[in-house]
C-alpha cells in the first residue's frame, strides 16, 4: 500500500536515515533543474543543511528566497509554504531534519 505521506514528486535520491513519530532525518539528492514543489507541514520545522551543490529555498508569507551552498543551513517553521530547487549545473545534496512532531506533506 502506498505511503499516504509520500510526496507527489520525484528527485534523484532520497534516503531516510531516521523516522520516528516525532522526527525525521533524510539525505536528498536533486539533479540540476529538479525541485520539490510548494508545500507546507502542519507540525514540523524543516532544518535544511546543504552538503554539496546549490539549493534555492523559496518561501511565502512573506516572500523570501534563500540560497544555500555547502555549509549553509536554513529553517522553515510549521505552516510556512516553501519549495526547494537545484538551479544547477551540479547535483545538490541536502540533509533534511524535520521535527518535532508528526510529519505530513501538504501541497500548496
What does the pLDDT look like over 46-65, one tens digit per residue? Answer: 999 999 999 999 999 999 99
Preceding amide of 62 cis, omega within 30:
yes
* Whether pLDDT at 7 is above 90: no
Residue 16 C-alpha cell reads as 531516510
Select from 94, 101, 107 the least CA-distant residue to 45. Answer: 101
41-47-52-53 Cα dihedral, nearest 10 degrees: 50
* Mean local confidence (pLDDT), 21-46: 96
pLDDT band at 8 (very low <50, low <70, confident <90, very high): low
pTM of the complete model? 0.88
Domains of the chain, CATH where assigned: 32-100 (2.60.120.10)
* Whether pLDDT at 37 is above 70: yes
Amino acid at each position: 500500500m502506498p505511503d499516504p505521506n509520500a510526496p507527489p514528486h520525484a528527485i534523484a535520491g532520497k534516503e531516510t536515515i531516521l523516522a520516528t513519530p516525532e522526527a525525521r532525518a533524510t539525505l536528498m539528492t536533486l539533479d540540476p533543474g529538479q525541485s520539490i514543489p510548494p508545500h507546507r507541514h502542519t507540525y514540523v520545522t524543516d532544518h535544511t543543511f546543504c552538503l554539496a551543490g546549490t539549493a534555492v529555498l523559496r518561501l511565502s508569507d512573506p516572500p523570501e528566497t534563500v540560497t544555500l551552498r555547502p555549509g549553509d543551513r536554513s529553517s522553515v517553521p510549521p505552516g510556512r509554504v516553501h519549495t526547494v530547487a537545484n538551479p544547477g549545473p551540479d547535483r545538490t545534496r541536502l540533509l533534511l531534519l524535520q521535527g518535532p512532531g508528526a510529519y505530513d506533506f501538504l501541497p500548496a
